[in-house]
A and B are shown apart, each in its own frame.
Chain A
């Protein structure tokens, strides 16, 4: 009897110790996240966040489109709480399907209207413009200068030499297509693109693939976002030069949003707040993304949006009508 009591006592005691321990220490749950940034870059930001907040993060890296498909498939039982990164057009598209949960981040500055949904369903934490990336050896060989306008891309010298992502697989590809639509109107944009298509070597699935490919000389010109061109092309040491179309260019806003049905709401909110902090925004330097917090410093070599000719890009319309515009493109171009 005594022994039984002793055992029961011991079990109770150890149970208390076991359960008391986590209760005392565990303040936050582990934040589950889908990151539409490159693994290394996502890890760089997330480690900084873990250090400053004490919240542990587990993330899966996917392309923006994969995140969209996955949260739609998981909508009845969401597995992640935060969608970190990717063009806002994809966030807008997902938001229009009711997959996101609005949250207005606590910031120490005013978030411009172009940087968030009206109801804060998504929030933009960096920006970047569409630009051209050209192989300098190709330019030397043909004794020409890098394309300075959309019209330059139609030059026969670039026949079979231009690459970019499919408008339907990549935020980058879609932003480029949307830029042309907004500039010319849908019908004229389709006609123009048929001309451009003659010079296209191939479309890639990923938005950044054309940068290194231009660097390797597999194509002469790539169309991509400025921050990617700097971080993955020029900055890596490839023989590349960046230029922007004089007619005006489109830009992306990188989105962060809370997934509807998120389990770690508080942790997700802390993370989203952190994305806009001066500390986080200063980290973007390393990957040449343009910060939205005015206190943050901009990377060397990165082009500020104020330095280039931007079109009045209507991200909301372009996000909501994405399916329509993309289908029109595919029906005409046939790819």
Chain B
């Protein structure tokens, strides 16, 4: 991301260049149309609802909200929780990513699988396991203090969202050429020096963006605080409850917009930080990727941390597995298959729908996300920042609000969207695409920014147009990030809940909605059984994607990290 000031002449030249490339020009227009309709328009509707009272512009909703301690306290609670979870989560994610990419740790495949496990289930499942393990009458009652509040939320959200950081960082660390470290070591630098002057600065954009992703996810999460927040109220839940509990769209929208403030600040802070440095490591020059054995005092603490986190994850999910076979979770531990039978009877249709819709959504999101990442990090055009900002937005806005925004925006034909979308599969598909897009874009941007633009410039100088350059040069280099984006998108689609619950219909429904139904009904065992089925489907899909990535990865020397 280069932020030099440009003269007018340069700007005009850029526009001319753009017009000379019709494919690029039209794609930019189409993407803007899509972003306006499916991202900005619904959110605008929410803004409108919060600022308009009986057709008059008014700040009354904001005055009402800011006056009440029960609206303000949750705002600060949310931010504090987000800061803690993002920091711990990014740290855990980084340690895991480092262990997988840089150390000769054994059983990487298993660790990797375990680390991504929490992503493949809705977080409220982890929260339930937390109650059964550490609750007042849990197996380890009192071991981590009172779980209803900040402590419990931190534990569960860290488990749930550290994998996001891990997935974002593994692509970044993989792209850092180990020969740089080799060179530094050969020149006599210590391991610590190599880390602090090479790996850390090179990974910084990835670390910051991972931190940001976790921070935003924590702010928007409502599944966990719904179950564990106790008296530590957070804003996402309050916005959700305001809308679903009090039918109060206006104040719910107002609270949601307050939740946007820290997100927007975080977003621009990150942009500012990243604009200052260049992080090029893949330069097209030949590399031989080897890594020397690490010193024991670095290796073993890292192994220990990975092992501990993996153990915690296994403990939580083991609880879910065990619970799913119990006659009455927490009371009668007679083993039974009844929960699975009941779950299947009710859940067949939900599973079929979720699977079909997610399979449609995933490739579209992956390609669109990578393409937008390419545009915003490689191309100069008017509105580039707007494109980046708006494509990030659905990720920052709490799902409930996106859901309500979609209903407000698409329940009637409008000049932007001439047909009604509510009740169709299209509304679910578009919502999922545009809600998952930011993850793909972030991954893509992080990957692309490590590729020296001169490789692409060389291609263009030799006569290839943007499309060919993207396909033949950029695309192969960002393939790992692309597939991790796909995996991410599929998982997020299958486990989406907060926004989806507003756009599902009798015709098209979603598995997570059914799980939430079970949880609401306190049928924890059936909820666990259905979550496990969901996890099984997702793990299977992840395995397939991994297999494909490995196949493709064979041709790419510079990305393989030797154990």
When distances are taken between beta carbons in the complex, the residues of chain B under 8 Å from A168 are 241, 245-246
A169–B242 Cα gap in the complex (Å)? 8
When distances are taken between beta carbons in the complex, the residues of chain A under 8 Å from B231 are 202, 335
- A168-189: CB near B (< 8 Å → 1, else 0) gives 1110000000000000000000
When distances are taken between beta carbons in the complex, the residues of chain B under 8 Å from A58 are 505-507
- B232-255: CB near A (< 8 Å → 1, else 0) gives 010001000101111101000000
Interface size class for chain A? 35 or more
Q: Determine whether the beta carbon of B342 is less than 8 Å from that of A40.
A: yes
Q: Determine whether the beta carbon of B407 is less than 8 Å from that of A61.
A: no
When distances are taken between beta carbons in the complex, the residues of chain B under 8 Å from A273 are none
The chain A residue sitting closest to B240, CB to CB, is A205
The chain B residue sitting closest to A232, CB to CB, is B522
- B489-521: CB near A (< 8 Å → 1, else 0) gives 000000000000110111101000110011011
Q: Chain B's nearest CB lies how many Å from the CB of A267?
A: 13
Q: Chain A's nearest CB lies how many Å from the CB of B512?
A: 12
When distances are taken between beta carbons in the complex, the residues of chain A under 8 Å from B407 are 70, 73-74
Q: Determine whether the beta carbon of B509 is less than 8 Å from that of A170.
A: no
Select the stretch in A20-28, A112-120, A124-132, A212-220 that faces chain B. Answer: A212-220
The chain B residue sitting closest to A330, CB to CB, is B70
Select the stretch in B213-221, B325-333, B444-452 that faces chain A. Answer: B325-333
Q: Determine whether the beta carbon of A59 is less than 8 Å from that of B506.
A: yes
A68: Cβ under 8 A from any B Cβ: yes
Contact of A39 among B241, B328, B514 (CB under 8 A): B514
When distances are taken between beta carbons in the complex, the residues of chain B under 8 Å from A170 are 245
A301–B245 Cα gap in the complex (Å)? 31
A211: Cβ under 8 A from any B Cβ: yes
A94–B135 Cα gap in the complex (Å)? 38
Q: Determine whether the beta carbon of A72 is less than 8 Å from that of B241.
A: no
Q: Determine whether the beta carbon of B520 is less than 8 Å from that of A334.
A: no
The chain A residue sitting closest to B243, CB to CB, is A69
A102: Cβ under 8 A from any B Cβ: no
When distances are taken between beta carbons in the complex, the residues of chain B under 8 Å from A331 are 68
A59–B504 Cα gap in the complex (Å)? 10
A237–B136 Cα gap in the complex (Å)? 19
Known: A69-B404, A79-B423, A201-B230. A334 touches B245 (CB 8 A): no
A248: Cβ under 8 A from any B Cβ: no
B422: Cβ under 8 A from any A Cβ: yes
A108: Cβ under 8 A from any B Cβ: no
Contact of B501 among A66, A79, A213 (CB under 8 A): A66
The chain B residue sitting closest to A212, CB to CB, is B522
Q: Determine whether the beta carbon of B411 is less than 8 Å from that of A74.
A: yes
The chain A residue sitting closest to B330, CB to CB, is A216
Q: Determine whether the beta carbon of A218 is less than 8 Å from that of B507.
A: no
B148: Cβ under 8 A from any A Cβ: yes
Q: Determine whether the beta carbon of B411 is less than 8 Å from that of A76.
A: yes
- Interface-central residue, B131, B411, B514, by most chain A CB under 10 Å: B411
- A208-237: CB near B (< 8 Å → 1, else 0) gives 110111011111000000000000100011
- B409-444: CB near A (< 8 Å → 1, else 0) gives 001100000001011000000000000000000000
Contact of B249 among A57, A66, A69, A79 (CB under 8 A): A69
A82–B504 Cα gap in the complex (Å)? 16
B346: Cβ under 8 A from any A Cβ: yes
Q: Determine whether the beta carbon of A166 is less than 8 Å from that of B505.
A: no
Q: Determine whether the beta carbon of B505 is less than 8 Å from that of A79.
A: yes
The chain A residue sitting closest to B242, CB to CB, is A168
When distances are taken between beta carbons in the complex, the residues of chain B under 8 Å from A213 are 522
A191: Cβ under 8 A from any B Cβ: no
Contact of A38 among B70, B412, B517 (CB under 8 A): B517
Q: Determine whether the beta carbon of A335 is less than 8 Å from that of B70.
A: yes
When distances are taken between beta carbons in the complex, the residues of chain B under 8 Å from A33 are 506
A62–B400 Cα gap in the complex (Å)? 13
A17–B524 Cα gap in the complex (Å)? 50
A80–B328 Cα gap in the complex (Å)? 35
Q: Determine whether the beta carbon of A40 is less than 8 Å from that of B70.
A: no
Q: Determine whether the beta carbon of A61 is less than 8 Å from that of B328.
A: no
When distances are taken between beta carbons in the complex, the residues of chain A under 8 Å from B342 are 40
The chain A residue sitting closest to B516, CB to CB, is A61
| A75-109 interface with B by 8 A CB criterion | 76-77, 79-80, 93-94, 97
The chain A residue sitting closest to B517, CB to CB, is A39
Q: Chain B's nearest CB lies how many Å from the CB of A173?
A: 9
B359: Cβ under 8 A from any A Cβ: no
The chain B residue sitting closest to A219, CB to CB, is B136
When distances are taken between beta carbons in the complex, the residues of chain A under 8 Å from B330 are 215-216
Q: Chain B's nearest CB lies how many Å from the CB of A90?
A: 8
Q: Determine whether the beta carbon of A60 is less than 8 Å from that of B249.
A: no
A206: Cβ under 8 A from any B Cβ: yes
Known: A39-B514, A60-B505. A201 touches B148 (CB 8 A): yes
A219–B137 Cα gap in the complex (Å)? 9
Q: Chain B's nearest CB lies how many Å from the CB of A220?
A: 10
A150: Cβ under 8 A from any B Cβ: no
Q: Chain B's nearest CB lies how many Å from the CB of A243?
A: 20
Q: Chain A's nearest CB lies how many Å from the CB of B332?
A: 6
A320: Cβ under 8 A from any B Cβ: no
A69–B407 Cα gap in the complex (Å)? 10
Contact of A206 among B69, B420, B520 (CB under 8 A): B520
Contact of B241 among A43, A97, A166 (CB under 8 A): A166
When distances are taken between beta carbons in the complex, the residues of chain A under 8 Å from B137 are 216-218
A111: Cβ under 8 A from any B Cβ: no
| A237-258 interface with B by 8 A CB criterion | 237-239
A323: Cβ under 8 A from any B Cβ: yes
A330–B241 Cα gap in the complex (Å)? 13
Q: Determine whether the beta carbon of B505 is less than 8 Å from that of A335.
A: no
The chain A residue sitting closest to B135, CB to CB, is A218
Q: Chain A's nearest CB lies how many Å from the CB of B17?
A: 45
Enumerate 9 A-B pairs (CB-CB under 8 Å) in ascending A order.
A60-B505, A63-B244, A65-B244, A66-B502, A76-B412, A168-B246, A201-B148, A212-B522, A215-B331
The 9 closest A-B pairs by CB, nearest first: A58-B506, A169-B245, A212-B522, A217-B137, A38-B521, A39-B517, A73-B407, A65-B244, A216-B330
Q: A73-B249, A323-B246 are in contact. List 16 more A-B contacts (CB 8 A).
A: A32-B423, A43-B346, A57-B506, A62-B501, A65-B246, A68-B247, A77-B412, A77-B422, A94-B247, A209-B520, A212-B522, A218-B131, A218-B136, A219-B136, A330-B70, A335-B231
